[in-house]
Amino acid sequence: MPGASSPAVVLLVASLAATTPALSLAATEPTPLLQIQDPTLLETSGLAVSALHEGVLWTHADGGAAAEVRAFDAAGETVATVTLAGIDPYDPEALAPGVNDAGKPALFLGDLGDNLERRPDVSVFRFTEPRRLADQSVEATWFRFTYSDGPHDAEALLVHPRTGRMLIATKDAGGGGVYAGPRDPVPVNQGTNRLVRVADAPLLVTDGAYLPDGRFVLRTYGSVLVYDRPGHQVGTASLPLQPQGESVAADGDRLLVGSEGPQSAVYAVPVPAPSSDSAPGDRATAPPVDREPGGSVAASGNGLGEESGWRTAYRVARVVAIILVLTGVIAYFRRSRRR
User: Per residue in 325-336, pLDDT tens?
Assistant: 455 545 444 444
Q: Quick check: is 86 in a domain?
A: yes
pLDDT value at position 65? 75
pLDDT value at position 278? 56
Q: Quick check: is 2 in a domain?
A: no
Q: Quick check: is 327 in a domain?
A: yes
Q: CA-CA distance, 239 to 57, in Å (whole number)? A: 20
pLDDT value at position 335? 44
Q: Quick check: is 296 in a domain?
A: yes
Q: Quick check: is 339 in a domain?
A: no
Q: CA-CA distance, 92 to 60, in Å (whole number)? A: 8
One-character DSSP codes across 274-315:
PPTTS-TTHHHHSPPTTPPP-SPPPPBS-SS----TT--HHH
pLDDT in tens, 159-185: 999 999 999 999 999 899 999 999 999
| 3-state percent helix, strand, coil for the chain, nearest multiple of 5 | 10, 35, 50
What is the number of structural domains in the chain?
Answer: 1
In three-state form (DSSP H/G/I as H, E/B as E, the rest C), the secondary structure along 56-107 is CEEEEECCCCCCEEEEECCCCCEEEEEEECCCCCCCCCEEEEEECCCCCEEE
Read off the DSSP letter of residue 213: T
Helix (H, G, I), strand (E, B) or coil at 259: strand
pLDDT value at position 319? 46
Q: Quick check: is 314 in a domain?
A: yes
Q: Quick check: is 171 in a domain?
A: yes
Read off the DSSP letter of residue 185: P
* Per-residue confidence band for 324, with pLDDT thresholds at 50, 70 and 90: low
In the chain, the amino acid numbered 261 is G
pTM: 0.78
What mean pLDDT do residues 138-148 have?
98
Task: Please name which of 119, 114, 112 lies closest in space to residue 156, comparing C-alpha atoms.
Answer: 112
The C-alpha angle with vertex 75 and arms to 63 and 45, in degrees rounded to 5, equals: 20
Task: Please name which of 32, 31, 30, 78 lies closest in space to residue 57, comparing C-alpha atoms.
Answer: 78
pLDDT in tens, 86-107: 999 999 999 999 999 999 999 9
* Per-residue confidence band for 11, with pLDDT thresholds at 50, 70 and 90: very low
| Domain encompassing residue 163 | 7-334
> What is the number of other CB atoms lying within 10 angstroms of the CB of residue 142?
16
pLDDT value at position 126? 98
Q: Quick check: is 1 in a domain?
A: no
- pLDDT above 80 for 239: yes
The C-alpha angle with vertex 114 and arms to 86 and 127, in degrees rounded to 5, equals: 35
Q: What is the CATH number of the domain that holds 110?
A: 2.120.10
